[in-house]
Amino acid sequence: MTTSATYYVAIVNSLGCEGESLEGLPQDRVELVVGDIVDGTVVDKLVSEHDAVVHFAAESHNDNSLTEPGPFIQTNIVGTFQILEACRRHDTRLHHISTDEVYGDLALDDPQRFTEATPYNPSSPYSAAKAGSDHLVRAWVRSFGVRATISNCSNNYGPWQHVEKFIPRQITNVIDGERPKVYGAGTNVRDWIHAEDHSSAVWTILERGRIGETYLIGADGERTNLEVVGRILEHFGRAADDLDLVTDRAGHDLRYAIDSTKLRTELGWAPTYDHFEEGLARTIAWYQAHDDWWRPHKEATEAFYAAKGQ
Ligand code: DAU
């Protein structure tokens, strides 16, 4: 498969900000299909017309899964089942995108990081649904010979991220003159990677990954939530403590940390954005310049959080 011959199809289940995010991509290379991944007929037709599937589709936000878990079971588990069945029927190469959250969390003072050998131990409806989907992929590889790989990535940041997520929420709060809202004591640790580095890792695995293998993707970007918010506030010239500590997330995972040695040594991948603070500054600039993209989703997002004391 070469880049020039590749034809991309994005499947989204509504024309919300996902659809808008695809605007401007080359029309001759990208087709937008509005459909539901749970709809086996739609999925089968699309899979039959293509030589590889990169399965990014997911309900991905923990806070939403704590309010309404049903869609997470449908999209993440039943949707993955539909993709797997279509790939089995058409002998199509599959790369399944997953999350480091399937491994549960690490203690704040634990020197260990997640590896491909870490046992699954998900905490939330979101991460349990993703863990279930990973298990389905492994079973379809072993039982039916589906040509699949899996990647589990750490926290993404960068342009085009929904304002419900931590970094865009805090950036847009500060742009609006509000205070960042930090759960609990703000000591939880996340391992940040720029979304473009996640994508380059996925492309590397699609091209050179060994069938049946799992690869962890991470860029050594561990920061506490207070450190991240402190950087954002500093960027805007505000004091590092100009924030609100709000109601903690139920079951809040303490720390995620990725050891991506396998991906780096076996496939030769390395991140481009190896300086988090620089990537964050560019992300802030993007949100300042794209008010028209995120603004329509901000009010409803803040109302959702306000109802939960967050
Ligand atoms: O680790 C990979 C995962 O990272 C992905 O699989 C998920 O799809 C993605 O949402 C992300 O999960 P998190 O739950 O870690 O991301 P979130 O942006 O929701 O929160 C990051 C941290 O910030 C977490 O400790 C909760 C905290 N937080 C979040 C929000 C939205 C706050 O303190 N305040 C907030 O307003």
pLDDT in tens, 221-257: 999 999 999 999 999 999 999 999 999 999 999 999 9
Q: Is the pTM of this model over 0.85?
A: yes
Q: Mean pLDDT over residues 177-186, rounded?
A: 98
Atom number, ligand 1, closest to the C-alpha of residue 225: 23
Q: Is the CB of 166 under 6 A from ligand 1?
A: yes
22: pLDDT strictly greater than 90 = no
Among 159, 106, 178, which residue's Cα sits nearest to residue 281?
159
Residue 114 carries which side chain, given as an amino acid letter?
F
CB within 8 Å of 110: residues ≥ 6 apart: 255
With a pLDDT cut of 70, the percent of the chain lying above it is 94
Question: What is the per-residue pLDDT for 21?
Answer: 79
Q: Is the CB of 56 under 6 A from ligand 1?
A: no
Task: Measure the CA–CA gap between 199 and 39, rounded to whole angstroms.
Answer: 26
CB 99 within 8 A of CB 72: no
Write down the residue that tokens 């076996």 correspond to: 266
pLDDT, tens only, 159-170: 999 999 999 999
- Pairing of the two strands 189-194 and 222-224: antiparallel
136: pLDDT strictly greater than 60 = yes
Q: What is the mean pLDDT of the chain?
A: 94
CB 17 within 8 A of CB 10: no
Question: What is the per-residue pLDDT for 274?
Answer: 84
Task: Measure the CA–CA gap between 99 and 122, rounded to whole angstroms.
Answer: 10
15: pLDDT strictly greater than 60 = no
Q: Label residues 85-98 b or e (16+ Cβ within 10 Å = b).
A: bbbbeeebbbbbbb
Question: What is the per-residue pLDDT for 4?
Answer: 40
5: pLDDT strictly greater than 50 = no
64: pLDDT strictly greater than 80 = yes
143: pLDDT strictly greater than 70 = yes
Question: What is the per-residue pLDDT for 191?
Answer: 98
What angle (nearest 5°) sits at the alpha carbon of residue 99, between those of residues 97 and 104? 155
Q: How far is the CA of 240 from the centre of ligand 1 (A)?
A: 20
Cβ of 280: how many Cβ atoms within 10 Å? 23
φ/ψ region of 158 (left if φ > 0, alpha if ψ in -120 to 50, else beta) reads: left
Q: Which of 151, 160, 165, 229 to mutate to test the pocket of ligand 1 (most atoms within 8 A of CB)?
A: 165
Task: Measure the CA–CA gap between 42 and 10, rounded to whole angstroms.
Answer: 12
Q: Is the CB of 165 under 6 A from ligand 1?
A: yes
Task: Read off the pLDDT band of 148 (50, 70, 90).
Answer: very high
With a pLDDT cut of 90, the percent of the chain lying above it is 88
- The per-residue DSSP string of 16-49 comes to SHHHHHTTTS-TTTEEEEE--TT-HHHHHHHHHT
19: pLDDT strictly greater than 80 = no
Task: Measure the CA–CA gap between 80 and 37, rounded to whole angstroms.
Answer: 8
179: pLDDT strictly greater than 70 = yes
Write down the residue that tokens 């695809």 correspond to: 22
